[in-house]
Chain A
Amino acid sequence: MFSIERFAGAYALCEDGDGRRVKLLRSALPADAREGDLILWEGAWRIDGTATAARRAQLEKRTAGLKKPEKLV
C-alpha cells in the first residue's frame, strides 16, 4: 500500500510503508485521488478509504498530543 504524499506536475509522489519514495503517473490514479489517500494495486490503482481514515485518525491523535510550549510568546 502507498500513501499519496503530494502531486507535482504529471506525477503523484507517494511513499511506501517504509517511507521510500515512489513516483507514479497522476493519470494512472483514480480521478478523485487526493493527497493522503492510501492506494493499492488491484490490476488498477484503488483508493482504500477505510485504511486512509484509520491512518488519519491515528496520526491526528498523535499530532494533537504533541507537547505544547509552557508559555506562548
Chain B
Amino acid sequence: MRARRAVGWLLLALVAAALFLGAWRYGGSLLEGIESFRRSLRPSEPLAVTVIDVGQGSAALVQAGDTDLLIDCGERSSADRLCSELAASGVKRLSAVVVTHLHTDHFGGLVDLLGRFPVDEVILPDTPAELLPTNKTYERLLDALETTGTPCTVQTKPQTRPLSEDAALTFLNGFLAAPGEINDTSLTLRIDCGGVSFLITGDGERTVEARLLETGALVSADVYVAGHHGSNSSSGQSFLNAVRPVASAVSAGRGNDYGLPSAAVLDRLAAFGPVYRTDVSGSVRFVTDGVTIRVRAAGIDDELTPREG
C-alpha cells in the first residue's frame, strides 16, 4: 500500500516536473507548460497514421509535422471516444477532415467534433443530388458546418496536397462517372512519406477498385486500410495484387451484426502480410520515418519492412 502510494507521488512529481520544465523552456506560464507537455505526446517521427477504434465505423488520424488530419469520423455515438483519442494524440486543431463518403459510420462523429476542435477545412466527396442522404444526422452535420462556418471543399478530381516537408496526401482517381450508390462516391486516399505509403479506400467497393486500376492510379502501398470494413464487396484479389501491402488494417466493431470483416477478405489480406484489426486490438498506430514502419496496438509492437520498389 505504502509502495503504491510512493509510486503515485513519484508519477505526480514527474508530471509536475514536466510541466515546470515546459513552462521554463517556453519562458511562459504554467498553461504554456501544459501545452508543451501535450506537444511532447505528438509523434517525433515524420508520419503517424492511427486507425482509431470507433466501433463499427471508420476514422484514421494522420499526423505529419505540425499537420493533424482526420480521415472519417465514425458514428455520432462514437464521438466521445474519437475526441478522447484525438486529445490523447496531442491534437489541438485539425488542418482538415476528409469525409470519404456520406454514410453516418464515416461522418456522424464530425457533428460533435466540430464543436470541440477547430477544423480548418472539411473535404467532402462529390455526391450527386440524387444520392444525398436524407437522414437527421446529415441535417445535423449541415447545422454544425453552418454554425461553425467551417470551409468545405468538394473533392472532384485527383490531387496531391503536402502535409509536411516529408509527407503528402493524394486523392487518387477512383471517381466514377455515374455512381449508383453512396459507396461508389468514396474518396481514395494515398499517403506517402519517404519510401513508405498508406492506402485508404473508404467504403469503395469493386467498382471503385476497378476504376482505380483502369485509370492507372498508384495504388501500390505498404499499408492498406481495407475497404468497407473488410467486406467481401471490397478488397478483390486483382486489386490486392496491385496494392501488394506488407500489412493491412481493418476497422470494424467488435461483435458487429454484419459479419465484418469477412473471413474471405481476411484470408486474402493475410496472404500478403499481418492484418491488424480494431475489433481485436483497438486503435492501431503506424509510425514511420519513411524507411521502416512501427506498429503499435494493444499487445502489439511490430516492426515492418516496406516493400522495395
Interface residues of A (CB under 8 A from B): 3, 5-6, 8-9, 11, 14-19, 23, 34-38, 52, 55-56, 59-60, 62-63, 66-70, 72-73
Contact = CB atoms under 8 A, between A and B. Distances in A.
Contacts of A68: 151-153
Nearest to A52: B134
Interface size, B (range): 20 to 34
B259 A36 contact: no
Given A6-B103, A6-B182, A59 B257 contact: no
25 contacts: A5-B104, A6-B104, A6-B182, A8-B257, A8-B258, A9-B257, A11-B257, A11-B258, A14-B135, A15-B135, A19-B136, A34-B181, A36-B134, A37-B134, A56-B130, A56-B132, A59-B133, A59-B138, A60-B129, A62-B146, A67-B149, A67-B151, A69-B121, A69-B151, A69-B152
B132 A36 contact: yes
A52 B258 CA distance: 27
B161 A73 contact: yes
B151 A56 contact: no
Contact of A15 (B131, B132, B137, B153): B137
Interface of B: 76, 103-105, 121, 129-140, 142, 145-146, 149-153, 161, 181-182, 257-259
Most B CB within 10 A of own CB, among A5, A55, A62, A67: A5
Contacts of B140: 19
A31 to B, nearest CB: 15
Nearest to A9: B258
B152 to A, nearest CB: 4
Contact of B135 (A11, A19, A70): A19
Contact of A5 (B131, B135, B139): B135
A62 B152 CA distance: 12
A69 B153 CA distance: 7
B151 A70 contact: yes
User: In this complex, which of B121, B131, B138 has the most chain A Cβ atoms within 10 angstroms of its Cβ?
Assistant: B138
